[in-house]
Structure 1
């Protein structure tokens, strides 16, 4: 099995496993299609007898379960957890036999040594002869033993005598977790702050392991974005000021660079041009940028169409347009659009007055838009199971710090349903609209189909094809949902000043574009 550590991201683990299809021919993903963020995500490897559990909000590996000892070779400090002679042909057996499971004596004497008493869980059946379960815990690891009958258990009987007797069967499963014991860890196993990095390449390297991980993205409005990092100080992206060189210096080189010339959504720019209040138009239609493009690696050029009518500017604008691109940071969970500097988004009516971004140049007139390229848009990906772009990026968590309301002062966040987010944002921006009809008109959603190859937001155009993603053409990989659906279907785009939300049918935000 490839090196997999607790705390690793679902994105990283899946890529490691998919790189060895002969070893891991089947990968089953189980999740809630209704509440994919609130509930754990289960990744099963039935051919290997292993199940991995990830928390929903952060998508980090919290629990490794060995359900069948006969299907994988396991060792601790070069000592086999199951004797090699016990494996043999049992690897193809439908379930683990008694001979292929570790005995209590082997675990207690040869592997880990003495430990504190564990936990006995009686059978829910009223039958006194029904089997019970004993969980023996060590720091970070626990074994489950079946007790043949409840009558064999006694509070006056020490667990060593019990588990050594014929009343106890060999261990039926093993769990690997972070904590001093299973009884202490299980209550907070999916919510405890992980001490390990998300990236498997950084596991065990500490602070000097490479490019620091981004833990949280804080959006402060007016193009100011704070990237909170694991060890180092925050890195600020000031849209239309931060350069590609700044990004590479702080975040490392991008995993990929994508260029695309797709202007099919430019027609919607006409809407803001005819608006009585163009500055108050929502983020999807505001004129400075075609922000309807919320795909993680697709882009239209942001060159003003009027430049094409000016022969003196044609050559320069075309050169700038050809240099525009997306910096794809799959391991950070976001993409950055690189283009000519643009006008910052409008200030939120409720933005904290005390906030002062660490910017040295906030005057767009000094930016010389045609002179150089800057970061003008940030796309934050949620990596929702069942969505079309699932597993393109690792999950990125974010908060909106600039839109408190009278009733709610805490920031909006990536775990909230979009209905709650939209309700708060409508309340904040309502005073800027001329009428209720204008507000209603500007808050309509736009349907985006990600299943057609010629869709402006199609991920097929993006990184090479559906076969690279979970749920695609590779045999043995499947998504399991509560209702048996294979996909969450079309998405909708909703815009607010400086923000565009791509929303799934279950109300989860699949992508947030900040501009």
Structure 2
């Protein structure tokens, strides 16, 4: 049984780990993976067709615990304990819920102090006791329901042994669970990493020049507390390894391409012999991959990831909040309406403005080297100018690839969506 400390409007955790409101989905997953054998029976719940309007949930059924993430920001919005019998809870070091201590109304008031009268919900036969950042829900039986009337719980006196006990509890930021939102990423969760606030694609009439990144990270210490530091960096095609490292720091991982199965799409691919391996700089917290040419050591490709659940690479990257502006009418860019593409755009809304109806996609199917099947299925890649859109079966963009059109760069534009470690430590369920 987990023994956890409750901190209203902040966190639920213990000495070894802490689930902090506002933390990114991948950080919560990392905690769970580090507690193998302690945190058990974990499932990820999401809506396959309605990814942006239904919360992303990590359900820890063995501990009666549910972590609720905002589907857009993918940050922890609320924590729900739906089975109080499966977990031991403390507040300010004092236990208020355990097999030996029932969380009755009197126990909650003794632990957390007085608050407003409880709010009764007749449709659910329950009432809620609200504190700032914390709500306790009690089930109402028929005898208690007859005594409620219109006076609320403040007028009730429960006999010894008859006091209702908490059936579930929610932890959040703000005054009510119904109106709570995921807070910004707490500085305690920065972990000295770099994060992207927004990314703008720098383009001319028909080609990409690079990316303008609005970044933030942990700044200098002021009054014994760290602060958020923001800055902007431009990364361009033709930048060398030193340029990128100076702008973005060391990558999360360096990936060397061992083979290129997509080179068949390049003209005269059989005549080309690659003696050295191109390599990626993977920036997981930015949601960006940068491909360098093996010969020149210069950037020739950018890949931006959206990190939607249901994709093979889900949970490897943070979502890159990019904005891409395209002008299909090259002859009259001033008067034509641009096509705006973001990480939340659906392919149906932009494809008719960019592509001919006869354009056919390249089908991309990922699988691991251990012959494990890809439960998420194939994705579809569409080319437009110097851009490749990778589209999921539900129409959402999985990634966007920008490749250099320089005559000095000789390679397949379709190559380079490299295999990564797949998200296989959880059961994935669709709502």
TM-score range, shorter chain: 0.7 to 0.9
Deviation at 1:337, TM superposition (A): 1.1
Alignment of 1:40-439 (within 5 A): 40-83=55-98, 86=100, 101-110=102-111, 112-123=112-123, 132-149=125-142, 150-157=145-152, 159-162=153-156, 169-182=164-177, 186-187=178-179, 189=180, 192=181, 194-197=183-186, 202-203=187-188, 210-221=192-203, 222-230=208-216, 231-241=229-239, 243-270=240-267, 318=275, 321-322=276-277, 324-339=278-293, 372-403=296-327, 411-426=340-355, 439=356
SS in 1 for 2:266: helix
2:42 pairs with 1:27: yes
When the two chains are superposed, the root-mean-square deviation of aligned CA atoms in Å is 3.0
Deviation at 1:134, TM superposition (A): 1.3
Q: Does the Cα contact within 8 Å between 2:339 and 2:353 map onto a contact in 1?
A: no
Gaps of 5+ in 2: 1-12, 217-228, 330-334, 404-431
Deviation at 1:492, TM superposition (A): 0.9
Alignment of 1:421-460 (within 5 A): 421-426=350-355, 439-440=356-357, 443-451=359-367, 460=368
Q: Does the Cα contact within 8 Å between 1:223 and 1:514 map onto a contact in 2?
A: no
Q: Using a 3 Å threshold, how does the CA distance of structure 1 residues 121 and 247 change in structure 2: closer, same or farther?
A: farther
Q: Does the Cα contact within 8 Å between 2:58 and 2:66 map onto a contact in 1?
A: yes
How far apart in 2 are the matches of 1:249 and 1:69? 50
Query: Which consecutive aligned stretches of 4+ in structure 1 deviate over 4 angstroms post-superposition?
Result: 163-168, 304-308, 402-410
Q: Using a 3 Å threshold, how does the CA distance of structure 1 residues 450 and 307 change in structure 2: closer, same or farther?
A: closer
Deviation at 1:402, TM superposition (A): 4.4
SS in 1 for 2:323: strand
How far apart in 2 are the matches of 1:74 and 1:251? 42
Deviation at 1:61, TM superposition (A): 1.4
SS in 2 for 1:194: coil
SS in 2 for 1:419: helix
How far apart in 1 are the matches of 2:197 and 2:96? 36
Q: Using a 3 Å threshold, how does the CA distance of structure 1 residues 445 and 109 change in structure 2: closer, same or farther?
A: same
Corresponding residue of 2:381: 493
Q: Does the Cα contact within 8 Å between 1:162 and 1:168 map onto a contact in 2?
A: no
Q: Using a 3 Å threshold, how does the CA distance of structure 1 residues 204 and 508 change in structure 2: closer, same or farther?
A: closer
Instruction: Looking at secondary structure, tell me which structure has more helix per residue.
Output: 1
Corresponding residue of 1:90: none
Deviation at 1:155, TM superposition (A): 2.9
SS in 2 for 1:8: coil
Q: Using a 3 Å threshold, how does the CA distance of structure 1 residues 387 and 204 change in structure 2: closer, same or farther?
A: closer
Q: Using a 3 Å threshold, how does the CA distance of structure 1 residues 193 and 15 change in structure 2: closer, same or farther?
A: closer
| 1:390-430 Cα deviation digits (max 9, x unpaired) | 2222333322134488685583211121111323434xxxx
SS in 2 for 1:155: coil
Deviation at 1:118, TM superposition (A): 4.2
How far apart in 2 are the matches of 1:254 and 1:22? 31
How many residue pairs were aligned?
364
How far apart in 2 are the matches of 1:404 and 1:180? 48
Q: Does the Cα contact within 8 Å between 1:449 and 1:490 map onto a contact in 2?
A: yes
TM-score by length of 1: 0.64
Using CA pairs under 8 Å that are at least 6 residues apart, name the structure with larger relative contact order, 1 or 2.
1
TM-score by length of 2: 0.75
How far apart in 2 are the matches of 1:408 and 1:80? 61
SS in 1 for 2:193: coil
Q: Using a 3 Å threshold, how does the CA distance of structure 1 residues 120 and 252 change in structure 2: closer, same or farther?
A: farther
Deviation at 1:256, TM superposition (A): 1.4
Corresponding residue of 1:362: none
Deviation at 1:306, TM superposition (A): 7.3
SS in 1 for 2:37: coil
